Structure 1
Amino acid sequence: MVPPNNRDRSHKLAITTCAGVKRGYRVDAIKMMANQYLANTQERVSMFKHLMMSAAALGFAVLTGCASVPMESPEKDQAHKAFATPSQDQAGLYIFRDSSFGAALKKTVKINGEPIGETAANTYFYRTVSPGPLVLATESEFSDNTLELNAQAGKNHYVRQSIKMGLFVGGAKLTEVTEEEGRKAVLSTKLAQ
């Protein structure tokens, strides 16, 4: 028979060994779960990166694709590029979009609430208007962006439509520019209907 002190020691040794096996199993299980978690996390990060790259590519395609609008004849285009002074009871209005940014987008332009047409990249409109206050508007992402302009008789006015980044699609804004800047931009664009 084993003396009581030795029996207690062997009993403790058996418990320690069993606990060590259990602890070893737990450590292996924890390592395995951690590796699975890391693999899943890396997979999620990889999927998120792939999703973001796809969204960026789609956004780039939308903003750099090409939209088309009805165009006027080359003869009318050249006639308006002579920049003739309007009669004393009229004002001339050039509204142009001289950038390729957002080329896939067409944007409606209005004068005093009446649509005059849609712009595409590198297009312009020419209209004669009555002198006085005008409200120009362009379609934007959530609502029209407007520009108040005081049209002066016997003078041409130049307004740039520019596309800007939006939340879902590109927005647009209107800015009056100098005659020199306006003429240069109109010369690089084509007349839309």
Structure 2
Amino acid sequence: MKKLILISSIILAGGCATPFPLSQYASDKEDIQAKEFQVPSNNTANLYVYRDKSVGPFYGAKIFIDNKEIATSHGKTYFVVNVSPGEHFIESYTEEKSIKKNFSVLPNSNNYIKIDPNVDGFGVTMNIIISDEKTGKSGVLQSKLIEIIK
């Protein structure tokens, strides 16, 4: 019986892994600085993209903004990028599915997007939710900064 439980656990754990390499954590100093939520003053906008749940923590989702790969998010992580004001789109790509969402930002503002994992019998999909400032800040504060692809 113990062998059956051990084998089942190994199989289930393997099913939670991602085929994508996960983005590395940034330094604590960078994390603290990003969580100061400084609003840019150069007619650009900050975009905080966060995943505040630990559901599927090792299941990565590649995140693209305007067709540029930015990072691979995983449980309880976030990243912040500076974007120009106006219309953009974000895409969350997993092994099973790709989801896109349009969004717009104003100059000199902070903006928040939540990547919300949904685990079902067919795998993991990532919902994209535009968050208000209060919800977004709360989600970021519960998460750890990851490095973006340069």
| Superposition TM-score, scaled by structure 2 size | 0.82
Aligned residues: 139
Report the Cα distance in structure 2 between the residues aligned to 1:58 and 1:168, rounded to whole angstroms. Answer: 15
Report the Cα distance in structure 1 between the residues aligned to 2:99 and 2:41, rounded to whole angstroms. Answer: 29
**Considering only aligned residues, what root-mean-square deviation do their CA atoms show, in Å?**
2.4
Q: Which residue among 127, 144, 163 is the counterpart of 2:81?
A: 127
User: Residue in 2 aligned with 1:96?
Assistant: 50
- Give deviations 1:85-104, integer Å, cap 9, x for gaps: 11241011000000011112
Structure 1 alignment gaps of length 5 or more: 1-49
Match of 1:111, as an amino acid?
A: I
Correspondence 1:52-91 to 2 at 5 A = 54=8, 58-59=11-12, 62-63=15-16, 69-91=23-45
**CA shift for structure 1 position 174:** 0.9
State yes or no: 1:189 paired with 2:108: no
Structure 2 alignment gaps of length 5 or more: none
Greater helix share, 1 or 2? Answer: 1
Given that residues 62 and 105 in structure 1 are in contact (C-alpha distance below 8 angstroms), is that contact kept between their aligned partners in structure 2? no
User: Residue in 2 aligned with 1:110?
Assistant: 64
Report the Cα distance in structure 1 between the residues aligned to 2:68 and 2:108, rounded to whole angstroms. Answer: 23
Given that residues 160 and 175 in structure 1 are in contact (C-alpha distance below 8 angstroms), is that contact kept between their aligned partners in structure 2? yes
Are residues 115 and 143 of structure 1, via their aligned partners in 2, closer, same or farther at CA, if it must alter by over 3 Å? same
Report the Cα distance in structure 1 between the residues aligned to 2:46 and 2:37, rounded to whole angstroms. Answer: 9
Q: Give aligned-pair identity as a percent.
A: 24
**CA shift for structure 1 position 142:** 3.5
**CA shift for structure 1 position 173:** 1.5
Q: Which residue among 152, 161, 164 is the counterpart of 2:118?
A: 164
Higher relative contact order (CA 8 A, sep 6+): 2
Greater strand share, 1 or 2? Answer: 2
Report the Cα distance in structure 2 between the residues aligned to 1:82 and 1:148, rounded to whole angstroms. Answer: 26
SS at match of 2:139: helix
SS at match of 2:97: coil
Report the Cα distance in structure 2 between the residues aligned to 1:117 and 1:143, rounded to whole angstroms. Answer: 17
| Superposition TM-score, scaled by structure 1 size | 0.65
Match of 2:84, as an amino acid?
A: S
**CA shift for structure 1 position 167:** 4.9
- Give deviations 1:105-147, integer Å, cap 9, x for gaps: 0111000011001011100010010001001000135431011
Match of 2:75, as an amino acid?
A: A
Larger radius of gyration: 1
Given that residues 22 and 72 in structure 2 are in contact (C-alpha distance below 8 angstroms), is that contact kept between their aligned partners in structure 1? no
Given that residues 64 and 101 in structure 1 are in contact (C-alpha distance below 8 angstroms), is that contact kept between their aligned partners in structure 2? no
